[in-house]
Amino acid sequence: MKKFIFGIIILVLIIITNLTKNSTKKIDAQIFQKKENIRNLTQQFEYILLDYNYLSSPEKLIEHQIQFFEEDLKPIRLENIKKILINNNQIEIFAISNLNE
């Protein structure tokens, strides 16, 4: 009888160990997947941040203007910018100051 109870206990322990091991593998796979996603997002964030910092600084923008566009870019007044709307074959032209109203 002692051998039977001892055998049952060992069988139950083996089943519990197997269940624990399988659930641990699933959790490890999920953790690995999350870490991969975080690594990809971190890389994307670093590229976007680099792009933002590189292109958004006024010094860099002026440098790019001088390097690539030279005399092609000219300053204009905000009042000279217009918006054209076409509704039912009618053309309407709005100044920027009128668009916010």
Query: Domain locations in the chain?
Result: 2-73
List, for residues 40-62, the tens digit of each pLDDT value.
999 999 888 877 777 777 777 77
Q: Quote the DSSP letter at residue 52.
A: H
What are the pLDDT digits (tens) for 3-19?
889 899 999 999 999 99
pTM beyond 0.85? no
Q: Residue 33's CB: how many other CB atoms inside 10 A?
A: 10
User: Phi, psi at residue 13, to the nearest 5°?
Assistant: -65, -40
Cβ distance 92 to 84 under 8 Å? Answer: yes
